[in-house]
Structures are given as structure tokens and as C-alpha cells.
Structure 1
Amino acid sequence: MTNQLKTVALLAALSGLLIAISYWVIGGSSGLIIGIGLAAVTNLFSWYQSDKIALAVYRAQPVSEMEAPGLYQMVQKLSDRANIPMPRVYIVPSQGANAFATGRDPEHAAVAVTEGILNILPEDELEGVIAHELTHIINRDTLTQAVAATVAGAISFLAQMLSYSLWFGGGSRDNNRGGNLFGVLLTVILAPVAATIIQLAISRTREFSADAGSAKLTGNPRALARALQRLEASAKQIPLNANPAYEPLLIINSISRQFLGNLFSSHPATEVRVAALLKLEEQLPTKAY
């Protein structure tokens, strides 16, 4: 199954989970209908507001060519090479070295980098990172991740509502609910966990594609491989703290999470990504631009 098909299947599973928990919280056919409506509303909200939310979460500030000429010109050059409109450019006021892209499509996109990444990466490695983020925009990954984060957040919110209902004497107010207290308790406990796992799985499938796109766009897979290793080492020293729901947008985990294992990681292991990039290096001719 291709990464694209995996992503579609995982998003469908996430929306299905939202509908299912709506059934438990509200009950019966009304819960199903409201769940479907809620899934539609959250997806629509993500479509139009994803870029604004992500930029606000990381306190990203817009910059002009005059304010950051090197970065601005690099984004412009790579955008022209990729044949997409140049996204808006932002800088995040943090020494944690990271980057992300956001926006519902290439015409409404933004690329953000931290002050930290500008300080530690040489030009060729930064170019690999920017090309990675532009590939996310080309592939519409920015919208996919925003939808996943919003739906996962709605699931967690509904699970919290259901737990309050049980705590204050609810849990059996609708005989059409079709389940029992044990099933409701499992929903409260497992639904947010399942939503998180699905959201992170979506993120991991998109990172490999973005790495490959960067390699093709720059013709220099090794530069991105070096950047990923440098960024991982930096993250252990200076993490980028923000809402965990939006960590999948970043190019690398904001903090080291090896102890959680791959299932709860928003990104594939760096060594696996590096190996894949070095394998691509053997297949791609070196391009001189």
C-alpha cells in the first residue's frame, strides 16, 4: 500500500473513531448523526484555519525579504524550482532548532523556521530542510496533518465529556446506546490513545515522502541526512516546547522520545530516515543548479 493510500485509510479510521465516540457520548442514532456532523465541521474548520492555528501555536512571526534576505531568497529559489507559489515566510522565536510548513494548499501556505535552526545549519542543510517543507506543501500534507490534529483533539474532548458524564452519575441515560458501562469505560480510556496513535501514524507515513521529495528537489540527499542528525542532537539539548498536537508538523521530534517507541512517535527514527536518504543518493544523479 502506498503512503497516500495509508494516509487516506488512517484519516478514515480517525473520522470513524470520532463518529463512534459521539455515539457513546450522545447515544443512539442521534449520536451517530451528530458524530458525522462533528467530523465534517472539524475537517472544514481545519481546511480554513489550519495555517493560522499552527503559526499561533509556535508564535511564528512573518518576515520580509529585507528582514531575512538569505532565508527569503532560499525559499523563493526552491519554490520556483518546485513550480509552486512562494509560501509566506515566518521565523519562530526559539533556540530550539526545528521547522514546519502549514496551509491548506500551495496557494495558502507558509514555511516557518526557528531562530535556532538558522543558527546551527549550514546553507546546504537548511536548503534540504526547506525543500522538505515545500514537499509537504506540494503533497498537501500540511492540510492532512491539521485535519488529523483537529479530529484527534475533538475525540479527546468528547472522551473527557463522557468521563465527566460517568463521574456525575450518567453513563446509562439512553437505552438506545447499545452498550454497557464496561464498553463506555473502554471508550473513555482507549479512544484518545487510539486517536493519538492514528494521528502519529499519519505523520510518519508523510515524513518519508517529504524526505524523498527534498532529495529530488535539491539533488543532495546527504545534506538533509546531515541536517536531520544535527537537529536530533540539538533537540536533546534545547527542545521546542509547544502543543503536542501540532508536533507532527515539525521536521523532527521536538524532544527525544526514544523511550516511547515508534508507536507513539510523530516521526520515523532518524537513523531510518538517514538510511533511506543515503539509499536515494545512490539512485539520484548529482544536480548542479
Structure 2
Amino acid sequence: MNQIKTAALLSVLSALLISVSYLLIGGVGGAITGIVLAAVTNLGAWYFSDQIALASYGAGAVSYGEAPELHDMVQSLCDRAALPMPQIYIIPTDSANAFATGRDPQHAAVAVTRGIMEILTPDELEAVLAHELSHIANRDTLTQAVAATIAGAISFIAQMAFWLAPGRRDNGTNWLLVLLTYLVAPLAATVIQLGISRTREFEADAGAARLTRNPRALAKALQRLDSNAKQLPLDGNPAFAPLLIINPFRGDFLAKLFSTHPSTEDRIAHLLQLEKGELG
């Protein structure tokens, strides 16, 4: 099912990229440009998704000597999950969050913020890391990173076309179409990302619960992280928000309406239900 969702998501996003190029760049040439961009973006995201996401949040690699407890915790979880050890990164910010990225388990990375290591207890941090390793095991990391990269390309083309449009003197320019595409295309790309993002968060939560046998630890962690995000939202490209364990932006009306994550309350309720004996 994950492979079907992945193929569907990438196909729709790629089609949107081609359509935006056709409308804003113009005609067959624009469509060809969109096809080339879609191919290059997919290929580039496939091989460089981890570097793109890590750079977006300013993450830096840390050695065992720099963070031995963090490395040991991840290694222990990997041994239990039969996963190869990912590279470990730390994001130098007090905002508390974490994410995993990489095209497959053999080329994966786990990044945590400085803030998350300061506010969580060891069992809560372990639960968060188990959540991220579940994403790696399910190959959600590739899907989310590729989707974010294509969504970013769509937004870039729309913005570029909008700001360059006044310089185009041909009478054939449909200014209303340019404006609508500028406004709608990035929103449509985000909505498409939401199609699988929420479901995969629930799946990763359940995977963490099974791996640690401690659903309540992740429930407590999510509660702390949600509170922290409201006070210290994480700066970064919104296109990569689906990678993070908690929505990094303030919970206003629009943020909730187009959230990349299920509500924290729903996730906690699901975990507590698993604690009652429904773990597989």
C-alpha cells in the first residue's frame, strides 16, 4: 500500500508541476520544461533528499564522541528493529523537534534539535527516535522528501512567473491566470502532500509503540513537543514540515486547516488506545 501511495503522490505532484509550467511559462515549451523539471526534481530528490532536508534546517552531523548517549540510544533501537545505523544530526535551536530522511534504510539520517534533547526524558526521547526509525523502515522518508522537493519547485516556478510577469509585454499574457496560478499552485501542492502525511504519522506512532513497548512515553513526548512548538516554532522551509514529528508552526486557524500532521490530541488518544492492549 505504501508503494501505491508513493507512486500516486509523485505522479500527481509531477503532473501539477508540468501543468504549472505549461500555464505560466507557456505552451508546449512550458510543458516540456515542466517534464524536464519533474524528471530532474524526482531524480535529484531520490539521491539527495537527505542533504536537502538537513540543509533546510541547518542540521550538522555529530560523531559518537560528540553525542554518545544519543548514538547509543539510536543504535539500541536499530538493533531491535533490524535496521542499519543512520547518520545522526543535531539542529542548533531551542525549538524541540526531530525528523528522519533518506532514500532508503541504508542511506538514512535522523536529526534532532538541541531543544528536544533538553526537554524530554530519556524514555520520551527514545520514543521519538523510535518514531523516526519507523518512518525509515516504512520508507516514508523518501516519499516525504521527494514530495517536499517537488512542492518547493512548484512554489518556486509560480513565484518566479508572478514576479517576471510584469516584464512580459506580449498581449497574450493572461494576468488573471498568472495570479490565480501563483496563489493556487503552492496551495494545491501542499494539499496533495497532506493526502498521505497524516496517515503515515499514525503508522509511525504505532511503529514506535511496538518498538519501545511504551506508547505512553511517546504520548507524553508529543504533549511536550506540541506545547514547545506553540512557544518556539521551528524556522525552516514549510515544504519540509511533513518530515518533522510535530507541526513546527503556530496553531492558528489556517495552520490547523492545512496541517501536515494529525492533531496531537488524536495521536495521543491513538497511543493510549494501543497501551490498553492493542499492540500487535
TM-score (norm 1): 0.88
Deviates further, 211-220 or 201-210: 201-210
Superposition deviation, residue 259 in structure 1: 2.1
Report the AA paired with residue 248 of structure 1.
Answer: P
| Counterpart Cα distance in 2 of 1:258 and 1:4 | 33
Specify every segment of 5 or more residues in structure 2 that has no aligned partner in the other structure, as ranges. none
2:206 — aligned with what?
Answer: 212
Query: After TM superposition, what 4+ stretches of structure 1 lie above 6 angstroms from structure 2?
Result: none
Superposition deviation, residue 266 in structure 1: 1.9
| Counterpart Cα distance in 2 of 1:226 and 1:82 | 22
In the alignment of these two chains, the number of paired residues is 280
Superposition deviation, residue 4 in structure 1: 5.8
1:154 — aligned with what?
Answer: 153
Q: Which secondary structure does the structure 2 equivalent of 1:90 belong to?
A: strand
Deviates further, 53-62 or 157-166: 157-166
2:168 — aligned with what?
Answer: 169
TM-score (norm 2): 0.91
Superposition deviation, residue 155 in structure 1: 0.8
1:227 aligns with 2:229: no
Root-mean-square deviation (CA), in Å? Answer: 2.2
Distance 1:150 1:111, change over 3 A: same
| Counterpart Cα distance in 1 of 2:209 and 2:231 | 27
Report the AA paired with residue 93 of structure 1.
Answer: P
Deviates further, 145-154 or 233-242: 233-242
1:276 aligns with 2:270: yes
Q: Which secondary structure does the structure 1 equivalent of 2:247 belong to?
A: coil
Distance 1:61 1:189, change over 3 A: closer
Report the AA paired with residue 126 of structure 1.
Answer: L
8 Å contact kept, 1:98–1:117: yes
Distance 1:170 1:80, change over 3 A: farther
Q: Which secondary structure does the structure 1 equivalent of 2:111 belong to?
A: strand
1:144 aligns with 2:143: yes
Report the AA paired with residue 161 of structure 2.
Answer: L
| Counterpart Cα distance in 2 of 1:33 and 1:198 | 22
Q: Which secondary structure does the structure 2 equivalent of 1:167 belong to?
A: helix
Report the AA paired with residue 268 of structure 2.
Answer: V
Deviates further, 13-22 or 50-59: 50-59
1:51 — aligned with what?
Answer: 50
Q: Which secondary structure does the structure 2 equivalent of 1:97 belong to?
A: coil
8 Å contact kept, 1:42–1:150: yes
Q: Which secondary structure does the structure 1 equivalent of 2:246 belong to?
A: coil
1:64 aligns with 2:63: yes
Matches within 5 A, 1:113-152: 113-152=112-151
1:33 — aligned with what?
Answer: 32
| Counterpart Cα distance in 2 of 1:8 and 1:221 | 31
Superposition deviation, residue 40 in structure 1: 0.9
Q: Which secondary structure does the structure 2 equivalent of 1:113 belong to?
A: strand
Q: Which secondary structure does the structure 2 equivalent of 1:27 belong to?
A: helix
| Counterpart Cα distance in 2 of 1:164 and 1:236 | 33
Q: Which secondary structure does the structure 2 equivalent of 1:134 belong to?
A: helix
1:242 — aligned with what?
Answer: 236
Q: Which secondary structure does the structure 2 equivalent of 1:157 belong to?
A: helix
| Counterpart Cα distance in 2 of 1:206 and 1:91 | 23
Specify every segment of 5 or more residues in structure 1 that has no aligned partner in the other structure, as ranges. 175-179
Distance 1:6 1:49, change over 3 A: closer
8 Å contact kept, 2:81–2:211: yes
Q: Which secondary structure does the structure 2 equivalent of 1:23 belong to?
A: helix
8 Å contact kept, 1:7–1:205: no
